[in-house]
Chain A
């Protein structure tokens, strides 16, 4: 401080200087004890007055003490990891010898999670059963995410179909959502006895939730199951991926800018060379050819994220398949073009409000030819959805939203004798609300309700959903779930008749889960009641069929899952077993019987072994399914016989040539088990009065795959191991 000759200024400064120490010396002591709920002291908690430097850490007895120059009402803050931050406004003079009990942070890892019915796949989800990488390194899956999910309990082995059949439900009873928005045509179309694949490439997704029952009120129009796929929020780096495979080629590129990024991925598959080398049981006039392009654009805003996903794919093939009634075989031709786009926004509205909204548009066009009949159809579908979420506290959260589905389906049928044009518009309006209530780290509840209005049927349905979870030990918990689920009849029915009602199921689920040290054990028992299933009185649905909602049925069983990533070094394995008891009357069934897609026992064993010295990962999987029902017209009854059991062992080997070059081999059904998916009987008996039959065999018993994958990125560390 500069001295000055002016007495008045000196005096002022003197006064100022005199005042400051005076203020400084007016100190108040703040002290107290910080405890856990059970009275144990907390060591190392940070105690301070908000907005000041004044504070201290608690000692081993939970005690703290510090002095402050602040006066009047101040906010005392206590923070400690795994506990909820404590805040209290009081006059500083009152903050003496206080005792504070801190609440556990229910967002922390060991809080109970509602797990009934749900499998999570993700890196950071609390209990993840599958990792994103598993989708593509499971030997039997051949890079198809649906194939990987088929190794989880609750799914049935329907090898010739390729879609997800869950707990006695038909494949159409599972709905797939990308970023919360429905996918109307998730599978590549195919024909009898040739399994389909999911349309979407697995590595655009970083979160997969597969629910085999009892799911949230946010999702409707699914009787059995939902599969939720989330696209990656932000790609890691700019790169180019190149793949050359025995069946085609792939190319991908990702570009990043400051706030946005764009990924593109294209593939071309042509089975002609493979079929020429390894002819299968079909007679291919035009071997399978498919091309697909996908793109994701992401843009970050200050308080939100916008994503635009678009995918186009085309399929083209023609073949002649063996048929018991047609000595020359059954000729089948298919051309499909499918376009799907999905835009979503998720953002923060402040005051603990969050918004999520978006929409999707699907255009699917098929040109199908079966012998001399031509069937052309197209579907245009739209889904619009908005959801709001308010977090009142860590212990109470509320979700609500509304959505609209619009589907327009038209089909032209033509053969030398007749011609017809038919179709339908199916619009559904839905609203849902759901509350998450976390009573404590041990006990949580989810309650929801969903209402749907179908314009087509002029019908309103209301579905309650509820689940509770209770932690029984440090690593174990029990959950219960109940829900009502409605779904419109599928397109193949609705195109002929719209004077129907939604079909209904009720789920009851009891789940036990143990997870510790990279080991997970789950056991789940369930009962599912089917009501108002669609019935008709012809072999296949047709114009002249009499349709009704007269069907019903049940499914009950036990699913068991064990995954261990800890006991054997560098080995990760899981085992799934499902027992299913299901009977239903639907379609053209005369009575309740076990449908062919609901076999009783299913078992999958998957193992992966990483061998550092060989720079290799070796994978193994075995799938077993007990026999499936079929009708033998030579005997009385319906679906009264069973095929022999299904077995398939697959192996794969991924070899890292260098960090960015991978060589990949896989063989499906390496032991060449002769699997039979069912039988086709002749439509008329022969001279002896016997119906002759033909076994429905897979197109090929084995499948070989060789691929070379290379990644080019700036820093040279990324590779496509996660694409395999």
Chain B
């Protein structure tokens, strides 16, 4: 009994230390990201990712930072390298967590970065894939605000491109934005953001007269 307790306590403390290290690392990475040092954050996520082989979150965030930072990149060489890196880490995340709507959304965003870079060149290839990814994610988790908003934002953008009326999408977009308030992240470091952009975008495209 003595031994058992000792072993339990020892394990508890070790795992508590391990947890702390992970928590410390993740918290620091998010701090760096929030303070505008996104590449430093990506590097730290990358280090955590290679140490924690069973956790999809660190590779997911490496991919996400590379994707977000690609949206305003004009140099094709850098863009290609960043999106390739993002794809590699996204593949790692997918291998750990299958049918994960957050990863599907990130994949859709990665393709959107290509389309944003050169629509004429990549639009025809990626547009149907992006639509399909949002559909698949929506089937898995319709109440996830990033899924619902991403889907309606993409559909609205497509309608805009084809010169169609965007008004029918505004209702869905409002509903998607409202989901952010009710959404409970699945864990301390699980994705939770996006509402600021969503609200801004809603105000921009669906102005109330």
Q: Interface of A with B (CB < 8 Å)?
A: 1-2, 4, 6, 8-9, 12-13, 16-17, 20, 44, 46, 48, 50-57, 77, 79, 81-82, 105, 108-110, 123, 131-133, 206, 236-237, 518, 565, 572, 610, 612-613, 615, 656, 658-659, 713-715, 717-718, 721-722
Inter-chain contacts of A206 with B (CB < 8 A): 125
Query: Known pairs A82-B78, A237-B132. 9 more at Cβ < 8 A?
Result: A9-B6, A54-B47, A57-B40, A81-B82, A615-B163, A658-B162, A659-B159, A715-B131, A715-B132
CB atoms of B76 and A659 under 8 A apart: no
Cβ-defined contact, B5 with A9, below 8 A? yes
Give complex CA distance A721, B6 in Å.
70
Q: Which of A13, A44, A77, A123 contacts B122 (CB 8 A)?
A: A123
Measured CA separation A565–B122 after assembly (Å): 14
Kindly supply a per-residue 1/0 record for chain B positions 1-36, scoring 1 wherever the CB is within 8 Å of any chain A CB and 0 otherwise.
010011001100100010001000100000000000
- Known A2-B9, A51-B51, A659-B162; judge A237-B80 contact (CB<8 A): no
**Which of chain B's residues has its CB closest to A612's CB?**
B163
The 8 Å CB contact of A108, one of B47, B80, B120, B163, is B80
For residue B209, CB closer than 8 A to chain A, the reply is no
A82 and B77: CB pair below 8 A?
Answer: yes
Contacts of A131 in B (CB 8 A): 121
B50→A236 contact, CB < 8 A? no
Out of A51, A108, A658, A715, name the residue touching B135 (CB < 8 Å). A715
Contact across chains for A53 and B85 when beta carbons are under 8 A apart: no
Cα separation A167 to B61 with both chains bound (whole Å): 52
- What are 13 A-B pairs at a CB distance below 8 A? A1-B13, A13-B6, A13-B9, A44-B40, A52-B51, A53-B48, A57-B43, A82-B78, A109-B77, A565-B120, A612-B163, A615-B162, A715-B155
Q: Is the interface of B mostly helix, strand, loop or mixed?
A: helix
Instruction: Determine the residue in chain B with the shortest Cβ distance to A82.
Output: B81
The contact string, 1 if C-beta is below 8 Å from chain A, for chain B 64-81, is 000000000000111011
- Chain B contact residues (Cβ within 8 angstroms of A): what range? 35 or more
Are B81's CB and A81's CB within 8 A? Answer: yes
Contact among A4, A17, A722 with B124 in the assembled complex (CB-CB below 8 Å): A722
Give B27 Cβ to nearest chain A Cβ, in Å. Answer: 12
Q: Closest 5 interchain pairs by CB?
A: A236-B128, A46-B43, A81-B81, A237-B132, A717-B131
Q: Which residues of A contact B76 (CB under 8 A)?
A: 109
A105 and B6 alpha carbons, distance in the complex (Å): 51
A253 CB to nearest chain B CB (Å): 15
Chain A residues with CB under 8 A of B5: 4, 9
Contacts of B47 in A (CB 8 A): 46, 48, 52-55
A81 vs B127: C-alpha distance when bound (angstroms): 27
Of chain B, the residue at the smallest CB distance from A610 is B120
In the bound complex, do residue B125 and residue A20 qualify as a contact, i.e. CB atoms below 8 Å apart?
Answer: no
Complex CA–CA separation, A245 to B163 (angstroms): 26
B169 near A: Cβ within 8 Å? no
Do A123 and B131 have beta carbons less than 8 Å apart? no
Contact A717 B127 (CB under 8 A): yes
- Asked if B129 CB lies within 8 Å of chain A CBs, one says yes
B residues 114-141 touching A (CB-CB < 8 Å) = 118, 120-122, 124-125, 127-129, 131-132, 134-135
Whether B158 lies near A659 (C-beta < 8 A) is yes
User: Is B164 interfacial (CB-CB < 8 Å)?
Assistant: yes
Cβ contact within 8 Å between B13 and A16: yes
Known: A133-B124, A714-B135. A57 touches B163 (CB 8 A): no
Pick the contact of B10: A16, A565, A656, A659 (CB < 8 A). Answer: A16
Please give, as numbers and ranges, the residues of chain B lying within 8 Å of A57 by CB-CB distance.
Answer: 39-40, 43
CB distance from B106 to the nearest CB of A (A): 18
Interface string of B190-207 (1 = CB under 8 A from A): 000000000000000000
